[in-house]
Structure formats: C-alpha cells, structure tokens
Amino acid sequence: MSVYGYMRVSTARQAEKYSPEVQRRQITARCLQDRLRPYKYLEDLGTSGVKPFWERPSVQGMAFKEGDVIVTPKLDRLGRDMLDLLTIVKDFRESGVRLITCDWGEITDDSIQSEMFLTMGGLFASMERRKIRERTMEGKHHQAQSGIFIGGNVPWGCYVQANEDGIKHVYEHPKRQEMIDRIQLLHNEGVPYRKVSEQIGKEFTNVDDTPMRVSHTQVQRIVRGEKSSYRLRRVR
C-alpha cells in the first residue's frame, strides 16, 4: 500500500491564498490522524481544475494499485465539475483505491455518509467553478469595454498600442473611422456593396497615396456590424 498526497494550485493568486505548503500541512495532519505515512506528494502547479484529472502532469501515466490511498485537502483539488468528480471516484472505487479529503474524510467507501459528502463536495466545487467563470467573464468584459486589449481579433476600425505600463489598449483608427462613416452613408443611399468598395478606394489613400482598399465582403460586415464592433464600446 502506498499513500499519496495530492495538491493542486491553478494560479499565482491562488498560490498566495492556498499555497502548496498549506495544502501539504493539511495532508500531513490528516495522515497523522488516520495513522498514514505519505509515500509521495503529487503536485500540479498552475493547473486548472477544469483539466481532466488523469491528464494532469503529476498523475499522467500513474498506475495506482489496489489498496493505495490518495489524500487531498479538498475535493475541488481533483476537479470542479460534478460529473468529473463522480467519474474520478468511480474509477478509484473500481480500482480499490481509497480517496480521503481533509475536510470530508473518506469518499470512496459505500457508506451513506460518503455519498452525502461526495454530493455536497461536488456541488460546492461546481458552484465555485461557476463563480470563477463569472468573475473571469465580468473582468474581461469590463476590460474590453474600457478599451483594454484582452486578445483575439482587433476590430477593423481600430488598432492596438501599449501604454507606458506595457498594458495594451485598443484605439479607434481615425482614418478607418472616417471610412466606416462613409461606407454607412453610401449604403444608406442604396449603393451596392461592390460599388461602395470601389468608391472607398477612390476617396481614401494611404500615406504613399495608394488606395485604401476595402473588399465588398468587408463592407458588408461593417454595414451589418458582424463579429466585434468596428467602433469601441466604452463603459458609460
């Protein structure tokens, strides 16, 4: 029988609050309580809880044997999805591997108490995952609305430039904004997309006096406002 302590930290910010050292102490305390001696500590640092358990670096290729014990601080260290957690526990049970969490105790036996703890722990993990996702999306949305570049495609009527702090911002391209206004005006007058494209090439030029060409497909996207906006939307 081998006893493994499993720890996971997804981000540097989480490491400050719930560092591997803190998790290791919790595992050690639980092992002393259950009279177990850790054989090896498995650490996944910088690994999201969304990543499937068996694909994580520390356990990839591991062959746990019947009678082995895995001790982890919390159930959400293994995963943040209820279905994934149920699958992991099922795999351990079928292999005869015991899973013990520092907060809930043993999860892999067939007792009603273990089933209750598994369900509660899985629900808490799923709720926390949703909260993390919502906070992340809200943060990205606010950054995008504030003009901070968060990656992806840059709107056609804009450009990206870093400020003194190295933070990339999206700015409206003056010349292209004029082109957008002109494209909208020509479209409103009933000019076909191809004719709009040709007219823009005649009216707008680059620094070297070459035409600033816009394909009729691009004209169509601008008119329809497809994908990301061609103008910045800022927080009001």
Q: Which positions are catalytic?
A: 10
Distance CA 107, CA 100 (A): 6
Identify the residue whose tokens are 């108490």: 113
Of the candidates 165, 178, 158, the one whose C-alpha atom is nearest the C-alpha of residue 231 is 158
Q: What are the helix and strand counts (H, E) for the chain? A: 7, 7
**Structure-block tokens of residue 207:** 């620094």
Residue 42 in contact with residue 78, Cβ under 8 Å?
no
Give the SS3 label for residue 180. helix
Distance CA 94, CA 76 (A): 21
Of the candidates 215, 236, 230, the one whose C-alpha atom is nearest the C-alpha of residue 170 is 230
**Structure-block tokens of residue 158:** 């804009």
Distance CA 230, CA 223 (A): 10
